[in-house]
Amino acid sequence: MPHGQRGRRQGQFLEVTPGGEVSSTVRRRVAVHGHVQAVGFRASCYRRASEAGLGGWVRNTRDGDVEAVFEGPISAVDELVTWCRQGPSWARVESIEVTDEEPRGETTFGIR
C-alpha cells in the first residue's frame, strides 16, 4: 500500500507511515463496573489516554459505572483497556465489558 493510503482489515484502519510501516487504528468501548465513581477514575483515565495520544472520551453513567471509548494504535488502546481492569487506587473494579467498534478518526480525548 503506498504511503498515506488507507485500507481496512477486520474492523481496523490501516495506514502506511512515512517510513513505509503499516499502522493499525482500533476503537474500543469499555464499560467499567464496580465502585468507580467519585474515586478519580475519569481524571486518571483522561490523563493516561491523553499521554498515550488516544482519541475518544470517558464519562460516568447514571447507573454508577464508567464508560470510555479509546481510539488509536492497538498497543496503546490495549494498554488503557488493561488499566481499566484496575483503575486508580481508590477504585474497586468488579468487571469490565469491552466492545470493538469501527474507528471514527477521533484524535483527541475528553471527559463527558
| Annotated catalytic residue, options 8, 42, 62, 92 | 42
Active site residue 8: no
Catalytic residue among 29, 60, 85, 112: 60
Compute CA distances 83 → 4, 55, 77, 79, 108, whole Å: 31, 16, 10, 6, 19
Q: Is 6 a catalytic residue?
A: no
Largest CA distance in the chain: 48
The catalytic site residues sit at 42, 60
